[in-house]
């Protein structure tokens, strides 16, 4: 018996070692292949892999004119193209790359930020959904369409925390909060990258802009950022760490200097944190020309020094500045840059080209038949409509003016955005040459027409332009309103008034739009105002006087239908603001997770030596986490499993949510904590968890949260991640300024 047992053990060991060798062979295959290609490469070919050019479809930065790109691709001195789209066009460029000595395939990158052919709501709008499944699904569809069009890599998600709505790129991110921003970063990375890289519906994600780009002083794009390392770690880095943990294939660094060092030359960010502490194995692409821009920053004297600084700091690929192309080989030859830095960057890039399967088949993403099929999948439009409806925020609904009955006899639809087509796509949307957007996009006018009964009559008047002082259209608009039973007014920005290089010092409703609203409100008709924008706008008169206000951001291809779904009650609005809305620009930055200060103001009339404005309320016009429903939700029965916990223990939190309204709907229950005393003062509240749940009218559900040490921790003076013993307040709210239930507990030593 013993003999048989030892034979069986031997056989098992044999197969186990075979399998291990095979497994090792497979896992080492890509690493080995990368090394084998690297050994064949000249220094010029290595530098070529670090060189990325813009193709000629469009430009998303200042263009350098040179027309020998094809020649350089043939010479193997270009590693990637951006703004090159379409199965055919990418196939043609890949054919050029296959004429190079080593036939290393090109990577095609594109800003697929919120959709490719099917445009989804701008990211800030999607963030308002607080629906991670919806956000992930939108990214999944964007990736599916982009990959079918030959794109390997999207320069998304943008995960910059932003607390200054003067900054135009606030539209591109997930708002002001690191917890919500981290959850959304995870959802978007997973959505873009799908099951695994190499699948034909997956594209590489790119977490950007590393780092703290959203904290530009004065909200002025590209401006300096100056903050403590503690604030950087506590607020601005968490979404990037979440992206690393979600497996983001690439990073993009940012234009700004951080504490005087441009991000693209910032070794603390890229080597110490990203590739060191976080052990990141992907690659970092510079933002457009940002390596060369280190000269403008006054951080380096010339392109030669820029290349030296950037490669040393861990910038792997040079988008459009040509600094690496023109200097890196010489820097290596002069022993200013160890070849190991170049080899590390090249290996990181080749690794992704292998993972995408491009060495096996460079043309695998460039299939025209698949492209046509995927880009015309009607399911995508259906999902776009659902995600859009989930992104619409109901800000005000006095006397239940909304939803409007579909049988309303006469509705006036007034304003400069009612019949706009492409405005609905927002900034960072992609316009494909062969799409007739007048037919593809559902305008707001069309959406309402699709919704109302055939006996209803829809009247239109433009009223005014988005900008300018011309009020000549007011009279017609007022007369039109007088004929109606209810008036919908659609106002806002133009889509290119927020986005990159679109910072604004004045974020009031532009032009004479608010005067148009006043004129129509004066008719005494019931008025609903729809606001379309890429950022929080200021509209105090409207907020104080108009009975119903809906924030619809920019919702994409299905905008009109989604807006009508909400206005006429086919979708009960559930969105919550991911960013605070200021009352005036002078209040900026205003955000919910502020410190208490030594002289907190307890209300607006308390002005006696307290931290407050004497001419304006301290509170935002609309708070982070705010958003109404056609229903009402009752919070009750908050219970904690214990009132004291040790650092290795947890507390279970349970409560009941009841839909006490007449509509089925979703509520986002938000859990905030306050650490009452800390070695670093702690915010008056911080979002630590949330749950979005559906409830039928009259339904009650019990929900649970878990409090662990992680949720109690923060970065102390020494940048250690610590939870300090003491008392904590736990707040459950429907908004950061609408706390429904409270409890407290103690963290023991």
Three-class SS string for 77-138? CCCEEECCCCHHHHHHHHHHHCCCCCCCCCEEEECCCCECCCECCCHHHHHCCCCHHHHHHH
Q: Please report where in the chains the tokens 């459950």 appear, as a residue.
A: 732
Q: Which of 111, 164, 318, 666 binds ligand GLC (CB under 6 A)?
A: 111
Q: What is the 3-state secondary structure (H, E, C) of 519-543?
A: HHHCCCCCEEEEEECCCCCECHHHH
Q: How far is the CB of 161 from ligand GLC (least distance, A)?
A: 15
User: Does residue 114 belong to the site contacting ligand GLC (CB under 6 A)?
Assistant: no
Q: Phi, psi (5° rounding) for residue 289? A: 70, 5
Contact 214, 236 (CB under 8 A): yes
* Beta bridge mates, 502: none
Cβ pair 716, 677 in contact under 8 A: no
The smaller minimum CB distance to ligand GLC, of residues 188 and 208, is found at 208
CB of 637 to ligand GLC, least distance (A): 46
Q: Which one, 45 or 172, has the nearer CB to ligand GLC?
A: 172
Minimum CB distance to ligand GLC, residue 254 (Å): 8
Of 288, 551, 626, 672, the one binding ligand GLC by CB under 6 A:
288
One of 47, 78, 82, 421 touching ligand GLC (CB under 6 A): 82
Residues 189-208 that bind ligand GLC (CB under 6 A): 208
Decide if residue 45 touches ligand GLC (CB under 6 A): no
- Contact between 116 and ligand GLC per CB under 6 A: no
List 55, 131, 145, 287, residue binding ligand GLC (CB under 6 A): 287
Question: In the range 462-521, which residues lie near ligand GLC by CB under 6 A?
Answer: 500
* DSSP labels, 366-389: --HHHHHHHHT-HHHHHHHHHHHH
- The nearer residue to ligand GLC, 111 or 420, going by C-beta atoms, is 111
Nearer CB in complex with ligand GLC: 124/477: 124
Q: How far is the CB of 82 from ligand GLC (least distance, A)?
A: 6
H runs (alpha helix) in 236-334 = 238-245, 267, 294-297, 303-313, 323-333
Is 81 or 657 the residue whose CB approaches ligand GLC more closely?
A: 81
From candidates 60, 272, 619, 647, binder to ligand GLC by CB under 6 A: 60
The yes or no reply on residue 155 touching ligand GLC (CB under 6 A) is yes
Min dist CB 521 to ligand GLC, Å, is 40
Task: State which of positions 609-628 bind ligand GLC (CB under 6 A).
Answer: none
Q: Retrieve residue 91's tokens.
A: 């196939």
Q: How big is the site for ligand GLC, counted in residues (CB under 6 A)?
A: 9
Using CB under 6 A as the binding rule, whether residue 305 contacts ligand GLC is answered as no
Q: Nearer to ligand GLC by C-beta: 322 or 576? A: 322
The distance of closest approach from Cβ of residue 228 to ligand GLC in the complex, given in angstroms and rounded to an integer, is 25
Please, what sign has the CA dihedral across residues 209, 214, 215, 220? positive
Is 434 a known active-site residue?
A: no
Closer by beta carbon to ligand GLC, 208 or else 325: 208
| Beta carbon nearer to ligand GLC, 153 or 553 | 153
- Segment holding 667, helix H or strand E: strand 665-675
Q: Does 534 bind ligand GLC (CB under 6 A)?
A: no
User: Rounded to the nearest whole angstrom, what is the least distance from the CB of residue 164 to ligand GLC in the complex?
Assistant: 17
Give whichever of 158 and 497 is closer to ligand GLC, judged by the CB atom. 158
Rounded CA separation 62/349 (Å): 25
CB of 314 to ligand GLC, least distance (A): 18
Question: Which lies closer to ligand GLC via its Cβ, residue 111 or residue 234?
Answer: 111
Residues in the chain: 749
Q: How far is the CB of 157 from ligand GLC (least distance, A)?
A: 11
Positive or negative: CA dihedral 325, 326, 330, 331: negative
Q: Which is nearer to ligand GLC, 81 or 555 (CB)?
A: 81
CB of 287 to ligand GLC, least distance (A): 5
Three-point CA angle 573, 579, 585, nearest 5° = 120
Report helix, strand or coil for 224.
coil
Q: Judged by CB under 6 A, does residue 239 bind ligand GLC? A: no
Tell me: does residue 283 bind ligand GLC (CB under 6 A).
no
3-state helix vs strand vs coil in the chain, percent to 5? 35, 20, 45
Ranges within 644-683 binding ligand GLC (CB under 6 A): none
DSSP-assigned letters across all residues of 460-495: EE--S-SSSS--TTHHHHHHHHHT-SEEEEEEE--G
Residue of 287, 318, 565, 675 marked catalytic: 287
| Closest C-alpha to 553, from 428, 429, 424, 381 | 424
- For 176-206, letters b (16+ CB in 10 Å) and e give bbbbbbbbbbbbbbbbbbbeebeeebbbbbb
Which residue, among 186, 187, 155, has the nearest Cα to 172 in the 3D structure?
155
Residues 6+ away with beta carbon under 8 Å from 486: 401, 404, 408, 411, 412, 525, 526, 527, 528
The label of the residue with tokens 């100056």 reads 226
Return the ∠ at Cα 632 (arms to 631 and 635), rounded to 5°. 145
Distance CA 352, CA 50 (A): 13
In the bound complex, what is the minimum distance in angstroms from residue 213's beta carbon to ligand GLC?
8
Q: How many CB atoms lie within 10 A of CB 555?
A: 32
Residues in contact with ligand GLC by CB under 6 A are 60-61, 82, 111, 155, 208, 287-288, 500
Question: Which sequence positions are flagged as catalytic?
Answer: 287
């Amino acid at each position: 018996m013993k003999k048989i047992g030892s034979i069986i053990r031997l056989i098992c060991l044999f197969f186990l070692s075979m399998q291990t060798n095979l497994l090792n062979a497979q896992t080492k295959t890509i690493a080995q292949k990368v090394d084998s290609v690297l050994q064949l490469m000249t220094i010029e070919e290595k530098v070529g892999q670090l060189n990325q050019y813009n193709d000629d479809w469009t430009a998303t930065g200042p263009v350098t004119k040179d027309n020998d790109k094809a020649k350089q691709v043939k010479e193997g001195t270009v590693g990637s193209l951006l703004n090159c789209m379409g199965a055919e066009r990418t196939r043609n460029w890949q054919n050029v790359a296959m004429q190079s000595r080593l036939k290393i395939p090109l990577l095609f990158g594109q800003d697929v930020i919120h959709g490719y052919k099917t445009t989804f709501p701008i990211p800030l709008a999607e963030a308002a959904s607080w629906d991670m499944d919806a956000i992930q699904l939108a990214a999944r569809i964007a990736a599916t369409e982009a990959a079918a069009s030959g794109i390997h890599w999207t320069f998304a998600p943008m995960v910059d925390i932003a607390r200054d709505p003067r900054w135009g790129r606030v539209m591109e991110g997930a708002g002001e909060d690191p917890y919500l921003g981290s959850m959304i970063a995870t959802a978007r990375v997973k959505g873009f990258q799908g099951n695994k890289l190499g699948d034909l519906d997956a594209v590489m994600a790119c977490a950007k802009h590393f780092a703290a780009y959203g904290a530009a002083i004065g909200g002025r794009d590209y401006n300096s950022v100056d903050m403590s390392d503690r604030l950087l770690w506590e607020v601005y880095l968490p979404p990037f760490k979440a992206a690393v943990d979600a497996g983001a294939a690439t990073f993009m660094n940012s234009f700004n200097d951080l504490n005087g060092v441009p991000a693209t030359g910032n070794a603390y960010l890229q080597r110490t944190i990203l590739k060191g502490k976080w052990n990141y194995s992907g690659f970092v692409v510079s933002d457009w020309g940002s390596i060369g821009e280190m000269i403008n920053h006054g951080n380096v004297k010339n392109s030669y020094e820029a290349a030296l600084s950037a490669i040393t700091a861990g910038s792997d690929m040079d988008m459009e500045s040509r600094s690496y192309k023109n200097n890196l080989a010489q820097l290596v030859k002069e022993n200013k840059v160890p070849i190991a830095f170049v080899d590390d960057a090249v290996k990181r890039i080749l690794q992704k080209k292998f993972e995408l399967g491009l060495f096996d088949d460079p043309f695998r993403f460039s299939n025209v038949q698949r492209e046509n099929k995927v880009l015309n999948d009607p399911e995508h439009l259906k999902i776009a409509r659902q995600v859009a409806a989930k992104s619409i925020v109901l800000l005000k609904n006095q006397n239940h003016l909304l939803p409007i009955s579909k049988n309303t006899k006469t509705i006036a639809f007034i304003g400069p955005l009612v019949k706009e087509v492409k405005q609905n796509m927002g900034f960072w949307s992609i316009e494909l040459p062969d799409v007739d957007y007048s037919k593809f996009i559902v305008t707001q006018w069309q959406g309402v027409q699709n919704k109302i009964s055939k006996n209803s009559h829809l009247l239109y008047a433009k009223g005014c332009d988005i900008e300018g002082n011309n009020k000549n259209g007011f009279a017609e608009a007022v007369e039109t309103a007088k004929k109606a039973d209810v008036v919908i007014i659609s106002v806002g920005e133009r889509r290119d008034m927020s986005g990159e290089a679109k910072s604004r010092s004045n974020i009031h409703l532009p032009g004479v739009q608010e005067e148009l609203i006043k004129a129509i409100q004066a008719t005494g008709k019931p008025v609903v105002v729809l606001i379309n924008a890429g950022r929080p706008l200021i509209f105090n008169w409207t907020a104080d006087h108009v009975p119903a206000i809906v924030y619809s951001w920019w919702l994409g291809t299905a905008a009109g239908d989604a807006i009508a779904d909400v206005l006429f009650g086919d979708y009960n609005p559930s969105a919550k603001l991911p960013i605070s809305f200021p009352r005036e620009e002078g209040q900026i930055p205003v955000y919910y997770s502020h410190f208490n200060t030594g002289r907190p103001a307890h209300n607006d009339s308390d002005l006696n030596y307290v931290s407050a404005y004497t001419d304006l309320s301290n509170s935002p016009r609309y708070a982070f986490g705010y958003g109404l429903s056609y229903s009402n939700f009752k919070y009750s029965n908050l219970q904690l499993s214990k009132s004291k916990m040790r650092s290795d223990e947890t507390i279970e939190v349970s409560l009941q949510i009841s839909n006490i309204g007449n509509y089925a709907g979703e509520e986002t229950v938000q859990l905030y904590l306050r650490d009452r005393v800390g070695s670093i003062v702690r915010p008056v509240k911080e979002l630590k968890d949330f749950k979005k749940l559906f409830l039928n009218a009259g339904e009650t559900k019990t929900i649970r949260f878990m409090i662990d040490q992680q949720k109690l921790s923060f970065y102390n003076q020494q940048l250690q991640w610590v939870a300090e013993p003491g008392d904590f307040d736990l707040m459950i709210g429907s908004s950061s300024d609408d706390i429904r239930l409270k409890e407290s507990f103690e963290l023991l030593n």
